[in-house]
Structure 1
């Protein structure tokens, strides 16, 4: 969801200069500070440009350097929640550890009057979700260029042992560059290091962390089961959406969506629109319910995508057989899905919009 500009604020170069977007930009009720506040004697908040349940994002000025930055603040309602503060710090640490032109740059992290903040790169442009809402299907060349950049960011994260766990169009920002759009991956708030996931996720068994439309089967079952290949599932769903203008998995509730991901046949892209030769096979491989049957790295993922989108070597993309237990025992999987969403109190959560589930229907992590 894009940030709405505040007409009363001072003019800036672009109304879309944000570092991360999630929610309404004019809802300041949850903020511990406001416009004009100075944090750590060096950051002056100018205007609120985005926010959500976890906090807010402000266009700000670095008083010493005179440069513009984005300041992300934790919500006032969460300042005393140790789990929320830990997750907020983890976001800063995860992104700061990744030196990549395709990951939003983190400059600083600190605490102002008990309110944690992150100072980060201020971006021009728009999130991928906004572009998809405006244009629907994107040209093949544009999709390939975009996914190449996102794959590079994902590779960098995975090499550092970081699993994002919430890759989606809202968290991919497109900034104008000298040679076209530069994609930046945002919001590492629920990222985990692979070693932590291997030892056991501390968020709690069964916690639904992420955005259901883009979550892999294993992540829907338990966030602690997610690994680097779960991120690749999310990227496959994003690629499908970019090429076809709709999401592959839908449902009127989280329970229905979980059943679609866990039990129903995976959609065949060419049955929903024109796609390059080989994309059906590529998508089938990328969305295998068994992680071992998917692409095993972002490099393998993007190399295969480039082949099929360029109609080169499409015959080499074989389609592994699907797990029979995933399709022949739907009653069991439906029961599992119902148990998952019921335990989280999400069974009645509706998901709907005019052509597919809403882009901003994120299930908020349990904090």
Structure 2
């Protein structure tokens, strides 16, 4: 059995090719799973036809199932998994907190409040969709965190505490709006979204989230060596020439923007950003030039299969994705803690 040290010794190209191959295969297989029987060859046929490389021999109904329903949903699951995992990796290094995740800044709670205000109160007069409202709410929450943390001194602990305060505030606002203004059916729909749902997504959601993810990966990748320096503490990083305050502000803004985009499309999906960075770190080590892409691939594959399980395990009823990630994430995180307890 290969040791982590041996795995770290693999060349980057080999590791990345293996990860990308696993992701592509996972996406193709996940699309075939469901009440309508679809083969992998059918998936390739539909994709090739849409790209102008041939013609699909599937019926219009099956073609629509692949292109309009399963493919965008599965791709968005991959994008959300990659994005949340990368945010968790960056925040754990930036805040020097192994329990940090993408929602520690209250972005998820703010997004939930924004979505609920649009759905229940009809704010925006139809100009704002659920995704738009969620994004505005997430931005407001993050702005509040920045103001609070700056007023309190701007240290790492203050950022985390400000995030906790914002999280509690917006969670309370969400509960208040739902309890006082929503009917039973609306409450059920809102609750399902709050727990994380990839149902009903379209290609617009995929392209927007993918664009934000690619931009965030480029920025975070450029700060990979700086994130390595943060492992020695902020004072040590400063002595190495790192502008601690500016770096922290830039990366917090990037992770908040990415989290807001993902949450606005898929709702709150927990534990991906908490567990996957630890698993990837055990696989390839702490160097962020390798850790960031490996974590992104691991998060993408993980959420593709979690979403597949969520939509099929109680078919025809669908389980919220966030429920499944929590059920899997809690024991996985406990296992990681036990495996790493002697390394610190």
Same fold (TM over 0.5): no
Q: Higher relative CO (CA 8 A, sep ≥ 6), structure 1 or 2? A: 2
Considering fraction of residues, name the structure with more strand.
Answer: 1
TM-score, normalising length: structure 2: 0.29
